[in-house]
Structure 1
Amino acid sequence: MFSLGKSFLAFTFLLLLLGCYVCIYQEYFQSACSKPFVQIGRNCYFFSTNKAASYEFYKVSYKNRVFSVPIMMDWLHANFGCETLDSQARLITLQNADEMRLLVDYIRDHTHADTHPMFWSGGHRGRANDGMDIDHRTLIDFYWHDDYFPMNFTNFARDVPLQKTYSDGFCVSLEFTGNELIMGVASCEKRMSFVCELRLL
């Protein structure tokens, strides 16, 4: 009877240990991102070029429907493309140098950066008001999506005009140089690849 009790305790301990292992695995090793997103650091990302560069579209299945998302779009349609993949996804933002380094490492090893080194981010000149109108007093600064305050981290190329000259456009692109993601400004109508971001809570 005593040995049966010890066996039961050992079996219970083993089950608890296995349960802890499963919890730890799910928390730290299993990706919290669903396809086509990949987890990099603490967030999920979708690269419109993370497939054969010869493909013109990325096929996405969602609620038993298949969407064709082009790998190159203008800035506004790239935003819509991200929302098509997931209603919470937006064009990528760079919040700090650490996030940039993680993305650089992934881009170098897993995307077609040699054929598509430039892609859209979620940055733009000026802050949007409640509607889609831009507050013209804020056009000297750059913002991420609907943020109220200007970008707190930037990595613009030195020749980007940050004053009131808009010849290069209003939308922020990122260029992979091999070591950095350099911010640039381009016409929002230009078609280029894009990266979507889904922030995990």
Structure 2
Amino acid sequence: MSRTAVNRTLLGLVGLVLLAGGALLLAGGLDLNRRWHLGLPADWTVLQPHHAVLDAADRTRWRADSWWWPVLFAALGVVAVLALWWLLAQLRRGATGQVTVPDTADVPVRLRGDALARAVADDAEQIPGVARVRVRLLGRPKRPRARIALLLEPGAAPGPVLRALSDGPLARARESTGLARLPAEARVRVAPGPVERVR
């Protein structure tokens, strides 16, 4: 199962649980079970309009114990950190699985993102001075961007290689897919030399 499917499944389950809990609290607060004859168990505290969800004994059961407040705050902190991590994971754009080809017929055409990335990498490895290339396509299907890792042969100059990359493989990828733009970020390493990041 892909990360997108897992995220959607988890979000759906969390949403259903929150929706069911909110509906029960609303039904209890408005006394809808009695007025609309919903058939829910009448002895559920949450469905009784004048009763708290937790009675006084439940609310104060562990308050005098020394471990209660540290455990409570630690659990709430873990939940908050996990929720924040999950939110940031959704906002961070990973590799795109497909690239949408614009201006096609009534049926939209989509290319596999990894296939296009391999084609760009194979094409770029034909540039003189290039030893190895890795390409990843990131972003949205309609607006992908390329992240390229170039390993140059000893003594190769990055400038001419980057110009050839822009005018050759990247330009051909734009033309073949019909994309108006294909922004690219290249990380260049000249063997045996330090890593230089060029935008």
User: TM-score band, normalised by the shorter chain?
Assistant: under 0.3
Bigger relative contact order (CA 8 A; separation at least 6) = 1
With the length of structure 1 as denominator, give the TM-score of the two structures. 0.23
Task: Answer 1 or 2: which has greater strand percent.
Answer: 1
With the length of structure 2 as denominator, give the TM-score of the two structures. 0.23
Larger radius of gyration: 2
